[in-house]
Amino acid sequence: MVSQSEFAFRQMCRNHNAKLTFTQMLHAKNFISSKAFRRDTFDFNPAVEGSANCAPVVGQLCGNDKLVLLEAAKIIQSEGIDGVDLNLGCPQRIAKKGFYGAFLLPQTDLVLDIVDHLSSNLQIPISVKIRVQSPETDLALCTGLQDAGASMITVHGRTVKENKTATRSNNFDAIKRIVDATSIPIISNGGIEHFSDVESCLAATNAAGVMSSEALLENPSLFAGESFPATTAEWYLKQLRLAKEYLAIAEKYPPIGTGQSGGHSTIKAHVFKILYVALDRYQDLRNELGAPSVREIAHTKNIVRRLEERIFAAIERGELGELGELTPANFQNSWYRRHRHPTTFQQLTESDEITNEEIRQRALERRGNNRRR
């Protein structure tokens, strides 16, 4: 969720029954060494999220040095956040290069030392997010994390290699084994696409809760318990409502960010994911949304308004029934399934750090400039 779990999006998810939210993953070394990095990445709103009526917020950190992680965690703690999470689940290339995320998992002694150091020196709970490895390794690691002071563990039931186009079904059996072997809350992560998946996951794993990330970016109301839209037209209208709701929150609480677009690149990325299916149909509007020149929320709202007009016109003409009845099983063209069911713009996201069309476009422009030189 790099650059995609800012306050506005967390607030929207809370509006739709999310009971626990996380900040984006923050690189601990950069966080303590650069005030600018902290300003541009730690989008915590103490006035709202620090209140007793707000669902808890956890600050997620990555790194491999316990002293650096503790220093970053203490800064986060001082802001009034509810907990700190150590990310040992990120499978991206950048995490491998930086030796953090899921690539720390084989270093059990190092991981346990970090968690013990954090839990012994913080006044707020420490949680850990992991991916599965093997049954024996998973149980040894999770019981060790519990003994080291972890208050909660989120388990993604896939291995490091099972991501992007290699994604497989989530291993609920592996998660249940961990639940049975530990006494702290275990959160199941992975394979949560629709609300019906939440129910089946809890039944299969006995987990204390369920986490969603990729699917939640497309459907921030995933946890609201709504029934799945019956038709393509209903899906389009639901997603339009969500996009407009997010834009209203983001206009009131603008995301932080750097560069010419500032936090608006985050806004565009969210709108792109929420309206992924509709923008695949109306690709001229998709391309306009992704243009570097779109730097203000008024422009993005105008694109969404024009998209809405086209959808209503298509509904009146009876053009949106060609896919027939929608069910979670036959709904394939979605943001969540983009790697398993490629579309013409699957390549927009190569890693968690590349989150929108604008970044891709700038990379293509730089590549063209280099070739001309």
* pLDDT score of 305: 98
Question: CA–CA separation, 107 vs 91, rounded Å?
Answer: 15
Question: CA–CA separation, 220 vs 226, rounded Å?
Answer: 11
H or E stretch covering 7? helix 7-15
Along the chain (373 residues), what's the average pLDDT of each consecutive run of 10 residues? 89 97 96 92 93 94 98 97 96 91 96 98 98 96 98 94 73 96 97 91 97 93 88 90 98 77 86 94 95 94 97 88 54 74 36 38 42 40
β-strands 186-189, 152-156 pairing: parallel
CB proximity list for 238: less than 8 A, separation 6 or greater: 221, 229
* pLDDT score of 292: 92
* pLDDT score of 329: 56
Q: CATH classification of 7-224 is 3.20.20.70, yes or no?
A: yes
Residue 15 tokens read as 């509006």
**Please, are residues 177 and 139 in contact by the beta-carbon 8 Å criterion?**
yes
Amino acid at 70: L
H or E stretch covering 128? strand 126-131
Phi, psi of 209 (to 5 degrees): -170, 180
Q: What is the pTM of this model?
A: 0.86
Residue 306 tokens read as 């024009």
Q: Which residues are catalytic?
A: 90
**Please, are residues 122 and 150 in contact by the beta-carbon 8 Å criterion?**
no
* pLDDT score of 44: 94
* pLDDT score of 319: 81
* pLDDT score of 348: 33
Q: Where are the domains of the chain?
A: 7-224, 232-366
* pLDDT score of 325: 52
